[in-house]
């Protein structure tokens, strides 16, 4: 509930932690009239140091310097332990890459068979995150620091450190621990999707850097071969492959961050030369042959090209894209533009296919990309032999088909030379900015499904030990209700508060069950009294939890009644005793046996009357006395029929109440 209250906070992270470094620097540069002069004046800072990494590093220094002046909400020991819990891979030896990879592949230490259980897949119902993920652990840590280590200021401090860690991992190509590989899982909460998107960006950036290194090694080997290491024949063959400075390796080793295509002028220069030679372009970007398929216009095998992966998207990006497409309208021009926007991946695959299969046709591409749109039929040729011929499907032959238009505009360009469909640098900076601007209330709303997920799992675990049917049913109702609320884009937080209160009631019932079992001697490792059936006591305790009123079999002399009497006597001891040593062991006094008490005569069966003697009474003074009189009396005449009469009286210290129910025979009166 304390974590839920953060949803109403409106302060930003900087406002919670105090004045930020930007405001402090603004005091020094309040005059903006000379802004252009300050931008163009000479500076002593070298140009290479003006990078995003150095700027973030300097910002981190200013933040830490500011925190030294104003004491941080979280001390270093607590903060380091939390960060180590969130990122255990940071403690691994960087040289041991095998252990790091194994940790990344199994972040939560769970086996594959555990992921098929209902509890593990609970995140799908609550739209939270898997119980072994970074987002789930972050929610637990945020709840912990909010309750025990400084409230909202500690939450803001931890979140700021978390964002800095995300920035560090992006800049240093370190994968984020506790996130599954692949595109964002739309079944999870938006924050988990954002972290997965950042992890995808890191994977793409890391793969691109590794390919550049491999391309650099290949370039060095090619240079050494051209210098005469493989003989004159090989050097002559390598020199006739194309114009110098435009080799494929030079493109893969480019320092430019984007995959730029060749300019139109260069293509125009190379096209006449290729046409003069009458030779097909050199195939590039081949992955593997496609079984036994061959090109329709030649006997060359059909190769599967290396293609770009579709750009991963989170649910908010998908919503933005759908809104943009919807705004285009239903006109012919809008529909055409919408189709072009949606065919970016198709155009990229066509260009890769053309580069891998020179001389191919649209029919060849359709046979690989969409086999259902290529219809094969057995026909009889002129010689009378049965042959198999294929044609495009009816929808592919519609005039103005988008596939035909895209095929005509596609150029033979391998995937590594195409413009990237997924700009990991842009998307990573967008995610980091999204994380940095989150307020404490926004963070709470993002992590609330994970906190509810953790609460439900904990309650389920405790209920499995106590085995309370009503609690089991209540957990199912809470889970179903929370699932309906959390799947809404803008959930009703008042109803969510009711769900949290229901979970608190369930926790209270479990705590009562444990307390009753301990007091009635049903705990683990405890042995009951001789002659007492533990099954009867378990049924009695279960009835106390499930029913409003329970009959005590045997009254005060039965097994349950005697235990209740002991509890009352022990409570009276605590209320009357002034011994400090006795008061320090409350639980021992509550569960102490009475048969061996030297201050009592005869044991539990020989009980003293209320207030009798100088000892402590067994029971506390009553809050009131109830007197109930029942009888059957003939009224109004002695020869009338005897009918039931009832008189009820309650006597309290400051008041009394009488309630009567009288009946009379009205047959002859």
Can you tell me the distance from the alpha carbon of 410 to that of 29, in angstroms, rounded to the nearest whole number?
53
Can you tell me the distance from the alpha carbon of 209 to that of 202, in angstroms, rounded to the nearest whole number?
10
454, 505 in Cβ contact below 8 A?
no
pLDDT of residue 563: 86
pLDDT class for 467, splitting at 50, 70, 90?
confident
Closest CA to 119 of 377, 564, 470, 479: 479
Domain-located, residue 42? no
Q: What's the domain range around 647?
A: 624-662
Coil/strand/helix, residue 300: coil
pLDDT of residue 536: 80
Q: Mark which of 413, 440, 464 sits at the end of a domain.
A: 413
Domain-located, residue 643? yes
Domain-located, residue 327? yes
Domain-located, residue 304? yes
Can you tell me the distance from the alpha carbon of 405 to that of 218, in angstroms, rounded to the nearest whole number?
37
332 CB-near residues (< 8 Å, 6+ apart):
none
Q: Average pLDDT over the chain, rounded to whole?
A: 75
Is the pLDDT reported for residue 241 higher than 50? no
pLDDT class for 159, splitting at 50, 70, 90?
very high
In the beta sheet, which residues pair with residue 659? 648
**Number of domains comprising the chain:** 2
Domain-located, residue 192? no
pLDDT of residue 244: 36
Find the mean pLDDT for residues 294-319. 88
12: phi then psi, degrees, rounded to nearest 5: -80, 175
| Residue range 32-58, pLDDT digits in tens | 455 556 556 555 545 444 455 555 555
Strands across the sheet containing 624-634? 624-634, 642-652, 656-661
Closest CA to 407 of 339, 358, 354, 355: 354
Q: Mark which of 397, 413, 429 sits at the end of a domain.
A: 413
pLDDT of residue 380: 75
Compute the CA torsion angle 148, 150, 155, 160 (nearest 10 deg). Answer: -130
Domain-located, residue 345? yes
Find the mean pLDDT for residues 103-128. 64
357, 295 in Cβ contact below 8 A?
yes
Find the mean pLDDT for residues 113-126. 72
Coil/strand/helix, residue 323: helix
Is the pLDDT reported for residue 479 higher than 60? yes
pLDDT of residue 529: 58
pLDDT of residue 280: 60
Find the mean pLDDT for residues 159-170. 93
pLDDT of residue 309: 85
Domain-located, residue 342? yes
Domain-located, residue 194? no
Q: Which two tokens stand for residue 117?
A: 């259980």
Can you tell me the distance from the alpha carbon of 496 to that of 381, in angstroms, rounded to the nearest whole number?
72
Find the mean pLDDT for residues 350-372. 91
Q: Mark which of 389, 413, 437 sits at the end of a domain.
A: 413
Percent of the chain with pLDDT over 90: 20
């Amino acid at each position: 509930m304390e974590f839920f209250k953060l949803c109403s906070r409106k302060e930003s992270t900087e406002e919670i932690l105090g004045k930020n470094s930007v405001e402090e620097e603004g005091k020094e540069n309040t005059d903006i009239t000379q802004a252009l002069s300050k931008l163009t004046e000479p500076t002593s800072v070298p140009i290479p140091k003006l990078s995003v990494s150095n700027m973030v590093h300097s910002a981190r220094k200013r933040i830490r310097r500011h925190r030294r002046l104003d004491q941080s909400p979280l001390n270093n020991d607590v903060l380091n332990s939390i960060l180590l819990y969130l990122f255990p891979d940071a403690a691994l030896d960087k040289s041991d890459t095998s252990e790091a990879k194994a940790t990344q592949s199994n972040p939560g230490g769970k086996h594959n068979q555990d992921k098929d259980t209902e509890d593990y897949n609970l995140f799908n119902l609550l739209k939270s995150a898997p119980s072994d993920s970074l987002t789930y652990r972050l929610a637990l840590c945020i709840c912990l620091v909010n309750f025990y280590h400084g409230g909202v200021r500690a939450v803001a401090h931890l979140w700021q450190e978390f964002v800095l860690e995300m920035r560090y991992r992006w800049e240093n190509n370190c994968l984020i621990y506790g996130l599954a590989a692949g595109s964002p899982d739309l079944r999870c909460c938006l924050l988990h999707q954002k972290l997965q998107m950042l992890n995808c960006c890191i994977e793409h950036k890391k793969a691109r850097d590794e390919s550049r290194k491999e391309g650099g090694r290949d370039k060095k080997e090619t240079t050494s071969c051209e210098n005469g290491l493989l003989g004159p024949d090989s050097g002559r063959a390598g020199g006739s492959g194309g114009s110098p400075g435009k080799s494929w390796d030079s493109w893969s080793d480019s320092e430019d961050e984007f995959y730029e295509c060749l300019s139109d002028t260069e293509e125009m220069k190379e096209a006449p030369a290729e046409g003069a030679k009458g030779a097909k372009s050199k195939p590039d970007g081949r992955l593997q042959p496609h079984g036994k398929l061959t090109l329709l216009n030649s006997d060359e095998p059909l190769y599967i090209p290396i293609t770009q992966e579709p750009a991963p998207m989170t649910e908010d990006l998908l919503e933005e894209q759908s809104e943009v497409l919807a705004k285009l309208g239903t006109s012919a021009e809008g529909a055409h533009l919408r189709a072009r926007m949606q065919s970016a991946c198709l155009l990229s695959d066509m260009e890769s296919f053309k580069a891998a299969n020179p001389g191919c046709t649209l029919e060849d591409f359709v046979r690989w990309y969409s086999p259902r749109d290529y219809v094969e039929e057995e026909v009889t040729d002129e010689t009378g032999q049965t042959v198999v011929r294929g044609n495009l499907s009816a929808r592919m032959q519609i005039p103005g088909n988008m596939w035909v238009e895209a095929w005509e505009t596609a150029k033979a360009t391998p995937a590594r030379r195409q413009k990237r469909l997924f700009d990991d640098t842009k998307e990573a900076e967008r995610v980091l900015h999204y994380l940095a601007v989150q307020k404490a209330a926004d963070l709470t709303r993002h992590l609330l499904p994970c906190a509810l997920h953790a609460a439900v799992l904990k309650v389920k675990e405790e209920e499995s030990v106590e085995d309370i049917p009503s609690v089991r049913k209540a957990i199912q109702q809470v889970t179903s209700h929370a699932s309906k609320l959390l799947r809404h884009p803008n959930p009703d937080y008042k109803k969510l508060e009711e769900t949290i209160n229901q979970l608190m009631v369930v926790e209270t019932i479990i705590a009562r069950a444990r307390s009753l079992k301990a007091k009635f001697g049903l705990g683990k490792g405890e042995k009951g009294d001789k002659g007492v059936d533990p099954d009867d006591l378990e049924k009695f305790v279960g009835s106390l939890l499930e029913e409003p009123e329970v009959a005590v079999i045997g009254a005060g002399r039965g097994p349950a009644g005697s235990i209740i009497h002991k509890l009352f006597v022990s409570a009276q001891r605590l209320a009357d005793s002034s011994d400090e040593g006795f008061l320090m062991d409350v639980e021992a006094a509550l569960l102490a046996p009475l048969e061996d008490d030297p201050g009592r005569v005869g044991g539990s069966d020989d009980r003293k009357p209320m207030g009798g003697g100088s000892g402590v009474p067994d029971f506390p003074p009553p809050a009131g006395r109830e007197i109930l009189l029942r009888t059957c009396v003939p009224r109004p005449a002695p020869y009338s029929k005897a009918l039931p009469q009832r008189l009820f009286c309650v006597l309290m210290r400051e008041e009394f109440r009488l309630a009567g129910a009288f009946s009379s025979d009205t047959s002859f009166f």
